[in-house]
């Protein structure tokens, strides 16, 4: 069996293990909390799992490149032949090429997963953690490119949502089929949710009294958000007569990108709405803190923590502050 085929089989089994677990009602969040309770390691019970098809494809691409490196440089013929020396030289090569910190961290995630699938968990995880520290140091010193995530303006997003609404109305007139892409965009903008959480994971059961909505995020983690009364009412009316989820994820992403470009925007990805939402939230909380008498530094610190926490992340995550707020 070829190295590529063996890699594919092991990655696929990791993906299938998660599918089997999910059928029992287990969530990624529960597995992480169990790891923290039992050993202090949130990834103890997730390292041999792959949670999405996108992650599977991303890891496969990185690890095929890693295996080819190990074969050429160290003569590896089996997955178990690929060890720590190959890992270090692969990461050092990426750093030497001045790859972006985001790319190098994706390499680390994939290589840590490789270790768990080849019986080298402790060694590979330890080395990958070491490289995480090194990458952060190089990024802070300006030796590696930092995150380059552009955020669309509120004006562009508002115009794009208006256009999506016009397209949804036109679709109904032509096909006699209700479509809610503009509502998904409004939901992202108000809550900062990922596109999948604002489309295929929204049903009539998601809405709660008091203008609240429960959205399902990564790993099945649920988070409650407060909506504007108008959006809550409109969603309630739509979902009352809808047979399925709020919208198709694939269709929404495509329509969103076309709408952004049509109104003159340059950030067509739906994650731009998530970034715009968290930046708007940061600005609002910062102004409130200043009005309440906090110092500028204290208001900024509180605003950043609250804004990042609203996305479902830990409030002290510096990497997410850099990604979303440029801090």
118 and 184 inside one domain: no
Is 167 part of any domain?
yes
Is 147 part of any domain?
no
Domain of residue 56, residue span: 3-140
**pTM listed for this prediction:** 0.66
Structure tokens at 173: 């007139």
pLDDT digits (tens, 9 = 90+) for 13-67: 999 999 999 899 999 889 999 999 998 888 889 999 999 888 899 999 999 999 9
251 and 303 inside one domain: no
More confident residue, 193 or 3: 193
Residue 220 backbone zone (phi > 0: left; psi -120 to 50: alpha; other: beta) = left
199 and 254 inside one domain: yes
Q: Please report the DSSP string for 146-172 in residue order.
A: --------HHHHHHHHHHHHHHHHHHH
Is 148 part of any domain?
no
pLDDT of 243 over the 80 cut:
no
96 and 71 inside one domain: yes
**CA gap 145, 298 in Å, rounded:** 29
27 and 133 inside one domain: yes
More confident residue, 257 or 220: 257
**CA gap 204, 208 in Å, rounded:** 9
CATH of the domain at 56: 1.10.150
To which H or E segment does residue 297 belong? helix 296-310
Domain count, the chain: 3
320 and 251 inside one domain: no
CATH of the domain at 243: 1.10.443.10
Is 145 part of any domain?
no
57 and 103 inside one domain: yes
* pLDDT grade for 146, boundaries at 50, 70 and 90: low
């Amino acid at each position: 069996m070829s190295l590529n085929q063996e890699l594919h089989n092991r990655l696929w089994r990791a993906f299938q293990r998660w599918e089997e677990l999910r059928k029992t009602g287990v969530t990624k969040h529960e597995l992480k909390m169990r790891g923290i309770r039992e050993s202090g390691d949130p990834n103890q019970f997730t390292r041999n799992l792959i949670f999405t098809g996108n992650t599977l494809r991303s890891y496969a691409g990185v690890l095929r490149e890693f295996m080819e490196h190990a074969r050429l440089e160290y003569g590896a013929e089996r997955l178990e032949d690929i060890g720590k020396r190959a890992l270090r030289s692969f990461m050092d090569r990426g750093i030497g090429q001045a790859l972006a910190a985001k790319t190098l961290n994706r390499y680390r995630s994939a290589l840590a997963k490789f270790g768990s699938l080849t019986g080298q968990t402790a060694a590979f995880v330890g080395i990958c953690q070491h490289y995480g520290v090194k990458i952060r140091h190089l990024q802070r010193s300006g030796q590696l490119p930092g995150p380059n995530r552009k955020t669309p303006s509120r004006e562009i997003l508002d115009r794009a949502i208006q256009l999506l609404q016009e397209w949804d109305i036109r679709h109904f007139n032509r096909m006699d089929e209700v479509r809610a892409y503009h509502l998904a965009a409004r939901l992202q903008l108000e809550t900062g949710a990922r596109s999948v959480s604002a489309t295929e994971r929204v049903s009539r059961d998601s809405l709660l009294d008091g203008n609240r909505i429960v959205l399902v995020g990564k790993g099945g983690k649920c988070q409650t958000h407060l909506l504007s009364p108008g959006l809550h009412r409109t969603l309630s009316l739509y979902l009352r007569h809808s047979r399925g989820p709020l919208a198709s994820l694939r269709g929404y992403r495509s329509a969103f990108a076309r709408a952004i470009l049509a109104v003159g925007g340059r950030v067509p990805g739906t994650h731009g709405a998530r970034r715009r939402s968290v930046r708007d939230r940061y600005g609002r909380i910062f102004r409130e803190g200043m009005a309440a008498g906090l110092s500028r530094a204290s208001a900024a610190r509180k605003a950043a923590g609250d804004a990042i926490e609203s996305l479902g992340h830990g409030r002290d995550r510096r990497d997410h502050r850099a990604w979303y707020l440029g801090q």
